């Protein structure tokens, strides 16, 4: 199903579809499961919403602060924050009085991990835009760290490249392993935040962790052998 449909210049919200109620803790019918995925798909179908969600995964924030960070128009950021809120991807976690007004602070409901089926349901152009933005962020972050002479400042920094030749089962096991590591990193972040909350004077380190698993354009042994035979 498409993430968005246009009719008369307006987007049809997938959330307007009707599903069935879950009764007495029973497993929701398939229609409900599809509707939940459709809500997430709609929420993640715009690259700015993905960037906002990624920033909120780093730290809860407000639309104004997010607009300053991304150098985006505040009303545009507020519109997309509203969609993330309506699609249950973020939640309001705090309100703070600021200069006679209330600042609304939002945080993700879940870590930014896309189920495989949901990712494949996104249009190819949307997928390419999302990972192009992520790769650009990684490049900018690494470059800034090297320029600031921080990249290898800690003895526990890590850089590695591991070329492999895998079968289908191996590919799936590697992806599952990466998902597990990502979930573990999220937990490490939560534990650190809890400790730092108790000790305001503790030293803080801005740490970035990037993972890439992708099909390489290099030849496998079999491909090289077949090319030579040809």
pLDDT per residue over 66-95, tens digit each? Answer: 999 889 999 999 999 999 999 988 999 999
Give the start-to-end residue ranges of the domains of the chain. 1-116
State the Cα–Cα distance between residues 188 and 190, nearest whole angstrom.
5
**Best CA proximity match to 118, nearest among 195, 45, 210:** 45
Residue 199, pLDDT > 60, answer yes
CB-CB contact of 74 with 36 (8 Å): no
Residue 144, pLDDT > 80, answer yes
According to the model, what pLDDT value does residue 21 have? Answer: 39
pLDDT tens-digit map of 149-164: 999 999 999 999 999 9
Q: Name the residue with higher pLDDT: 32 or 175.
A: 175
**Best CA proximity match to 210, nearest among 129, 165, 145, 163:** 145
pLDDT range class, residue 43, cuts 50, 70, 90: confident
Written as six digits, the tokens of 230 are: 């040809």
Q: May I ask the CATH architecture of the domain 1-116?
A: Orthogonal Bundle (1.10)
Written as six digits, the tokens of 187 are: 């937990």
Average pLDDT, the chain: 79
- For the ranges 5-14, 62-71, 129-138, 172-181, which has the lowest average pLDDT? 5-14
Average pLDDT of the segment spanning 212-222:
83
- Quick one: which H or E segment has residue 102? strand 101-108
H-type alpha helices, 62-123:
63-70, 74-86, 116-121
Residue 195, pLDDT > 80, answer yes
Determine if the pTM surpasses 0.85: no
According to the model, what pLDDT value does residue 113 have? Answer: 59
Phi/psi for 148 (5° steps) reads -80, 5
**Best CA proximity match to 118, nearest among 92, 87, 81:** 87
């Amino acid at each position: 199903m498409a993430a968005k449909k246009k009719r008369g210049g307006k987007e049809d919200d997938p959330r307007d579809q009707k599903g069935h109620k879950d009764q007495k803790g029973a497993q929701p019918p398939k229609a409900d499961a599809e509707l939940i995925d459709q809500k997430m798909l709609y929420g993640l179908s715009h690259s700015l919403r993905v960037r906002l969600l990624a920033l909120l995964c780093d730290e809860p924030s407000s639309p104004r602060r997010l607009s300053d960070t991304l150098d985006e128009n505040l009303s545009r950021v507020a519109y997309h924050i509203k969609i993330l809120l309506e699609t249950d991807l973020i939640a309001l976690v705090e309100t703070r009085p600021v200069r006679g007004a209330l600042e609304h602070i939002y945080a993700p409901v879940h870590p930014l991990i896309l189920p495989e089926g949901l990712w494949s349901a996104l249009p190819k152009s949307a997928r390419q835009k999302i990972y192009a933005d992520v790769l650009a962020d990684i490049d900018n972050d690494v470059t800034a760290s090297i320029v600031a002479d921080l990249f290898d400042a800690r003895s526990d920094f890590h850089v590695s490249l591991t070329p492999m030749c895998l079968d289908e089962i191996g590919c799936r096991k590697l992806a599952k392993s990466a998902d597990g590591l990502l979930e573990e990193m999220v937990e490490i972040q939560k534990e650190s935040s809890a400790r730092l909350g108790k000790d305001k004077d503790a030293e803080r380190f801005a740490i970035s962790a990037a993972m890439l698993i992708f099909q390489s354009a290099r030849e496998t042994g079999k491909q090289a052998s077949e090319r030579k035979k040809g």
